[in-house]
Amino acid sequence: MTRFEITALATAAFALALAAGLALAQEGADQPNPPRQEWSFAGMFGTFDQAQLQRGFQVYKEVCSNCHALTIPFRTLAKPGGPGYTENQVKTLAATYQVTNAEPNDKGEIFKRPGTPADDFPRPEAYPNDQAAAATFGKAPPDMNLLAKSLKYERGFPWFVFDALPGLEYQEMGADYIDAILNGYTKPDDPQWNLYYPGHKIAMPQPITNGAVAYKDGTAPTLTNYAKDVSAFLTWAAEPNLEERKKIGLRVMLFLFVLAGLLYFTKKRIWEEVH
């Protein structure tokens, strides 16, 4: 068994896998994958764009929150690495919501009161639980806490290998998917036909169109912008620690590289005597 034969075997195995992967990918011709977008938070040094997160929050608040729950605490909107609202802005925002108090009052009645930053965003008023929502819509609108993390599409071989490599890493599948869905209502006569949804029939009719939300910072009020901004916001909602994670990660990687280098030379020095 020579080196050549081993190399030939390995190449044959790889080629077979590649062919299989490509063959499986052909089935997706009329079911296109969400196109990859550019995101400010992608890559090793990615960060959220605060203005984008604030616009995305506005889109969520004015459009999506009517049906979709997002049960994160109000105070997270002021945390570093997020939309960057001030404490006062968060307090004012929370007070505009009526939240159900956890404990009944002295008379034993469940009551509502204005929200505080410590409270979670309340669920949509009309749909307090999944069964009520499903009764109205046919299918319960998914909670948005982890929506961006729960969406995927087949990458196929060899792309799923590249998705893990430094420089090529792909963690933004959810954001691309949400953006694609929102832009994917390409048949005006069928409000539930979506280009990117598997099987094309989606329970949610087109939720947002051009001009639906008036941006305050001068960004054009177009569907493409709404889709990008709300996708970024939902990615933050699913991964609020993304910026801190990448920042700490850089320090850890640098430390480990230096450590590995030092250990390598120490090892060589120690083993010199033996060789």
Partner 1 sequence: MSGPSTYVPKSAIGRWFEARLPLMGMVHSSFIAYPVPRNLNYMWTFGAILSFMLVAQIVTGVVLAMHYIPSANEAFDSVTNDIMRNVNYGWLVRYMHTNGASLFFFAVYIHMFRGFYYGSFKPPRELLWIIGVIIYFLMMATAFMGYVLPWGSMSYAGATVITNLTSAIPFVGNSIAHWLWGGYAVGAPTLTRFYSLHYLLPFIIAAFVGLHVWALHVPGQNNPDGVEVQNVDRDTVAFTPYATIKDVFALSIFLIFYAWLIFYIPNYLLDPDNSKVANPLMTPAHVVPEWYLLPFYAILRAIPNKLMGVIALFAAIVVLALVPWLDRSPVKSAKYRPTYRFFFWVFVVVCIGLGYLGSQEPTEGTALIARILTAGYFGFFLVVMPLLSFTEKTKPIPASIADAVLPNKPAQAQA
Using CB under 8 A as the criterion, which residues of the chain lie in contact with partner 1 when the complex forms? Answer: 1, 5-6, 9-10, 13, 17, 20, 24, 44, 71-73, 76, 142, 145-146, 149-152, 157, 163-164, 166, 169, 171, 173-174, 198, 238, 240-241, 245-246, 248-250, 252-253, 256-257, 259-260, 263-264, 266-267, 270-271, 274
Shortest reach from residue 223's CB to partner 1, in Å? 25
C-alpha angle with apex 48: 47 to 52, nearest 5 degrees? 150
- Pick between residue 173 and residue 227 the one whose CB is nearest to partner 1: 173
Kindly tell me which of 32 and 211 has the beta carbon lying closer to partner 1. Answer: 32
Q: How far apart are CA 255 and CA 263, in angstroms?
A: 12
Nearer to partner 1, 107 or 269 (CB): 269
Handedness of CA 213, 218, 223, 229 (dihedral sign): negative
The CA-based diameter of the chain, rounded to the nearest angstrom, is: 87
Nearest to 115 by CA among 146, 93, 142, 145: 93
Q: Tell me whether residue 77 or residue 213 sits nearer to partner 1 (CB atom).
A: 77
Report helix angle 173-183 to 223-238, nearest 10: 150
Considering the complex, what minimum distance in angstroms separates the CB of residue 266 from partner 1?
6
142 exposure class (CB count in 10 Å sphere: 0-12, 13-18, 19+): middle
b/e map of 23-56 (b: 16 or more CB within 10 Å)?
eeeeeeeeeebbeebebebbbeeeebbeebbbbb
87 vs 169, which CB is nearer to partner 1? 169
Q: Which is nearer to partner 1, 163 or 190 (CB)?
A: 163
Provide the minimum distance between the beta carbon of 121 and partner 1 in the complex, in angstroms, as a whole number: 12
* Nearest distance, CB of residue 21 and partner 1, angstroms: 9
CA–CA gap between residue 177 and residue 36 (Å, rounded): 9
CB of 72 to partner 1, least distance (A): 7
Smallest gap, in angstroms, from Cβ of residue 87 to partner 1?
18
